Chain A
Amino acid sequence: MSGERLQELWSRFLANEPLSVDEEQILLIALKADPSLRRELLEEARIDERLGVRASNLRDSEAPIRRFLKRIGAEKDATGFIKKMKSRLEREGPPEASLPDRASGGATRRATGRGTSRGTSPRVPSGWNFGLFPAGMALGIVALIFLISGLGGSRVSWTARQTTKPPAPGSPENAMRPTDVEGRRAESARLEAEATLREIEQERLKLIERPPAREGIDSTKNDDLKKAIAELEERKKRTEDELKEAVERGKRSAVVPSEGMPARPSKDPFPVPGTEAAVATLERVEGEVLLAGKDGKIPGRPDQVIRAGQRMETGAKSFASLKYPDGTRIEMGETTILAELTEGSKRLVMLKGTLHAQVAKQPKEQPMIIATAHGEARVVGTTLNVLVDPDPSKGMRLEVEEGKVELKNLAGKTVLVESGHYAVAAAGVELASKQFPVDQVVLFPTAGKSAGNEWRAVKDDKALRGLAWETNSISPSAPQATLLRDYTSSVGRVNNRTASYVEFRFVADADKDYCVWVRALCLVTTSTAGFCDQVAIEVPGGRVSRTDPAFKDNPAIALINGHALRPKYWWVGGDADMTGNATPDTPTDDPPVTVRFARTGPQILRVFSLATFARVDAILLSTIHKTRPEDGFAPSGVDRK
């Protein structure tokens, strides 16, 4: 996020211009993150207010004085009015016929009330039921339409709801009954009405004394003002009636319980949705993924189109991946919010959380921009991680796996971050590119590229990211001798470099022992499964801790074997069944194979099929997990120790 953008947003905030939820969040996070920026902006707010006061004084310095004098006058008037009213009523008595017969006023209430509900609980009038039912119906229908229109972008009016009226206060449910403390009640009703009248007059004065609103955005304010004044006038009349009534009843020792005003219809909570351009498509959804637009939030579904201006949120233990038309893929970790996605030039605002992005080559003059409240990353084409810490003082962390990314902080300083490096944009932190220690790498199918025709990507709901690499080039029902021949020929192809493989590129450190865990599902359940459940892995830039006789000439290749022991996806790190007598529940594990890279930085890992009939959905290289991860263990792409 650039300082200029903050300037603009802050300026609009100071002007009371409506800001989107995301814009507010951007400001809020920036203000929280950087105390010196906050001081500056708050001082600017003071200057803004002072300029406002200065301008209103230049326009009319007498206005506050006039307002004050009017208020003092009004107080006197109100007191005078009440006195006059009281003495008149006491003198003349209330002429019953002359009382106004308002639906919300007291006269009707009194007339209907007396006969209906003496000593019994009030009967709910049928009008109430009818009033409620259509209201509920209308809400249900409109909510449904909005859900649909949120997808299609059509416009819906909201008239049905507005026509639903609150129950009339004059209904019999509000009936009163005489009591033995009537006199006292009438007195308190009278005092209450008097106080209300004073309040109303003061409110009215406040309203009419306000300076005219700024043109343009505030024009509705002037309408609101007129409406508010009209409402006050209406309330004043009602209260005057109540006062008359209370005084009269004080004499007759009858009382009307005071009650609230009828509820005003609330403001339209569902603004009309707009139609925005498609930006990307939701690929994969796990757990709680929400798509928020002007029309509220809807759960994200695979293949759903994400439109400009919408925002994406993932909940705890949730994941989402989105794909742009040019192949750029963004994976969102848990509790992550992305906003302001734009089409064409790729730009998005990341409010919090973690993301992993594989960015397709972008035009040099139009890089992809990932903005946060702490800075922004400009990406031309690369693989990277962005982490926005919930603690604003920790800022934004950019990790580049491949390629180069420019990171700019709020102060406008930029740094070029190369592969294997990271930089942090945060208040009070010097912007610098540093090598990041990699303790763990998770390779998901989306990060792999296949060479040859033995592997293909398949969708699989049971796979960690809904996607797996499958190889099934043999027939598992073939005789064992055939299977063995297939296996041997696979080994030969690996050794003479003609085998198919899936290749993953990532960043890892030199001189660390990474345990290799391959998560896979063997697709064969027959007795020959043991011939079809091994893969080979190769790390061209490193060495493996344990080679297999089949690949004795290549210290960069290891065998991972034994997935058939369980009929589901699970993690295998070496040979899960070396002794030949393991059971599915207690497989005898070899310790996992470890790999060591010669150089820190970009690395390659290849997976080969060895007459395999299985699906691989994740590979974990970890200095943390030295023993088998739980079956349910689902690492995030950007895990850190």
Chain B
Amino acid sequence: MQEEYRLIDAAQEGSVEAFSELLRLHQAPLRAYLAGLIRDSEAADDVAQEAFLGAYRNLGSYKGDASFRTWLFGIAKNKALLHFRDEVRRRSQQSETLKVAVSDWLAAETEEDASRVSRQLHLLDSCVDKLPRTSAALVASYYQDRKSADRIARETGMTEVSVWKTLSRIRQALRQCVELGLSGEAGEA
């Protein structure tokens, strides 16, 4: 924490380096938070950049009342709302599509707070580590190596449909694992 205060001070005095260091600490949970909200990962990353920029420009207004992460998340949330407003305007003529409906549902639940998101990311790490070998391999080739389901199917001898289903099952298992971890933490607290 001391380190973070030092970085904030330095950034407030104009050090881009220090601000970058702050971003290194917080970018992952912030992007995860926005991605969960916005769904389109590219758009989410664009909004994340807007939030970084907003934070950088308004660093002077950060008084240290809340944690830096909470403050950053607040800015991100505002940027996300701006994004949604544009979205609504953009799609006012469109009929209801699945994408629109899903992003509305996701956006409707914005109560996730900063510390919860970063805890979830930590838990997700340990849950992925606990996956059976083949599931972990599938997660690695799909998410890290960005291989298509079609290619994974060819390489593993599965059908493409079962790749899709398996991915879904793994995610559901991870979800349960993360939820279990969260409730365990709540129990300990």
Contacts and interface: CB of A to CB of B under 8 A. Distances in A.
B151 interface: yes
A578 interface: no
B171 A54 contact: no
A47 B142 CA distance: 14
A228 interface: no
A633 to B, nearest CB: 34
A51 B124 contact: yes
Interface in B16-67: 16, 20, 23-24, 27-28, 31-32, 35-36, 39, 41-42, 44-46, 48-49, 52-53, 56
B5 interface: no
Interface string B151-177: 100000000010011011101101100
B143 A24 contact: no
10 contacts: A7-B164, A11-B164, A45-B39, A45-B102, A49-B44, A64-B49, A65-B23, A65-B24, A68-B52, A216-B150
A68 B175 contact: no
A61 B21 CA distance: 12
Contacts of B96: 28
Contact of B120 (A7, A8, A28, A50): A50
B168 A7 contact: yes
Contact of B151 (A8, A45, A216): A216
The 9 closest A-B pairs by CB, nearest first: A216-B148, A49-B35, A55-B143, A11-B164, A7-B168, A46-B36, A24-B98, A11-B168, A8-B164
Contact of B98 (A13, A17, A52): A13
Contacts of A71: 49, 53
A496 B35 CA distance: 79
Contact of B35 (A10, A44, A52, A215): A52
A462 interface: no
B116 to A, nearest CB: 12
Contacts of A61: 24, 27-28
Contact of A57 (B28, B150, B171): B28
A54 B165 contact: no
Contacts of A210: 42, 45
A527 B28 CA distance: 92
A8 B16 contact: no
B37 to A, nearest CB: 9
A67 interface: yes
A68 B49 contact: yes
B144 interface: yes
Given A19-B98, A64-B48, A47 B178 contact: yes
Nearest to B29: A53
- Classify the interface of chain A: helix, strand, loop or mixed: helix
Interface of A: 4, 7-8, 10-13, 15, 17, 19, 24, 27-28, 31-32, 38, 40, 42-55, 57-59, 61-62, 64-65, 67-69, 71-72, 206, 210, 212, 214-217
A54 to B, nearest CB: 6
Contact of B46 (A43, A206, A215): A206
A159 B143 CA distance: 38
Contact of A49 (B41, B101, B151): B41
Contacts of A12: 149, 164
B165 A43 contact: no
A11 B24 contact: no
Interface in B104-153: 105-106, 109, 120-121, 124-125, 128, 139, 143-144, 146-151
Given A7-B169, A55-B143, A72-B53, A28 B175 contact: no
Given A47-B174, A64-B27, 6 more contacts: A8-B165, A45-B36, A45-B39, A53-B28, A53-B31, A67-B49
- Classify the interface of chain B: helix, strand, loop or mixed: helix
Contacts of A42: 102, 105-106, 109
A27 B100 CA distance: 13
Nearest to A58: B144
B97 interface: yes
B118 to A, nearest CB: 11
Interface of B: 16, 20, 23-24, 27-28, 31-32, 35-36, 39, 41-42, 44-46, 48-49, 52-53, 56, 96-98, 101-102, 105-106, 109, 120-121, 124-125, 128, 139, 143-144, 146-151, 161, 164-165, 167-169, 171-172, 174-175, 178
Contacts of B35: 46, 49-50, 52-53
A67 B50 CA distance: 11
Nearest to B46: A206
A17 B168 CA distance: 14
A15 B153 CA distance: 15
A485 to B, nearest CB: 67
Contacts of A4: 165
A72 B151 CA distance: 39
A210 B42 CA distance: 7
Contacts of B139: 51
B161 A8 contact: yes
Contact of B31 (A28, A45, A59, A64): A64
A51 B52 contact: no
A4 B167 CA distance: 12
Contact of B101 (A10, A28, A48, A217): A28
A11 B167 contact: yes
Given A24-B98, A31-B102, A49-B36, A55 B144 contact: yes
A61 B26 CA distance: 11
A515 B10 CA distance: 90
Nearest to A214: B146
Given A65-B27, A67-B49, A44 B149 contact: no
Given A49-B39, A50-B32, A215 B148 contact: yes
A53 B49 CA distance: 14
A570 B114 CA distance: 72
